[in-house]
């Protein structure tokens, strides 16, 4: 079986957000620990970054320099919250980001991450 490079649990949509512009929202209840989505990424170090960095993540690299990446799927659209309900892991080799619930999320709620984690990777 080949590795999955993109996946969604089918329980999320993009809507207008009261936090900032648009955001990711649950269409159904999501359980603590549930996989929400897997996003593959584009390497922005090979692109013009000027307008894309607001939506980018950093990927740790073997030479200790962080590289910028734009996530496909909904990955670049999660808004920040100190009381986030979603976390993510990064597979540096495949450049995949895996998002999962850190608490139960009710249908209609916005899914948020803590941007500080991204800055420290």
**Residues 18-33 pLDDT 10s:** 998 899 999 999 999 9
pTM given for the model? 0.79
Residue 22 lies in a domain: yes
Is 41 domain-assigned? yes
What does the mean pLDDT of the chain come to?
82
Strands 96-101 and 35-39: antiparallel
pLDDT at position 81 over 80:
yes
Q: Is residue 46 part of a domain?
A: yes
Which domain does 21 fall in, by range? 7-119
Q: Which helix (H) or strand (E) holds 100?
A: strand 96-101
How remote is the C-alpha of 1 from its chain's centroid?
Answer: 25
CA 117 to chain centre: 11
Assign residue 107 the CATH number of its domain. 2.170.270.10
Is the Cβ–Cβ distance between 10 and 26 less than 8 Å? no
């Amino acid at each position: 079986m080949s590795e999955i490079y993109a996946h969604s649990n089918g329980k999320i949509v993009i809507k207008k957000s009261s936090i900032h512009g648009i955001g990711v929202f649950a269409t159904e209840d999501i359980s603590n620990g549930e996989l929400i989505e897997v996003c593959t990424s584009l390497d922005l170090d090979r692109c013009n970054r000027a307008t894309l960095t607001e939506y980018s993540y950093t990927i740790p690299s073997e030479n200790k320099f962080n590289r910028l990446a734009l996530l496909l799927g909904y990955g670049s659209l999660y808004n920040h919250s100190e009381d986030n309900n979603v976390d993510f892991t990064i597979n540096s080799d495949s450049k995949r980001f895996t998002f999962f619930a850190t608490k139960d999320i009710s249908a209609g709620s916005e899914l948020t991450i803590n941007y500080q984690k991204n800055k420290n990777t």
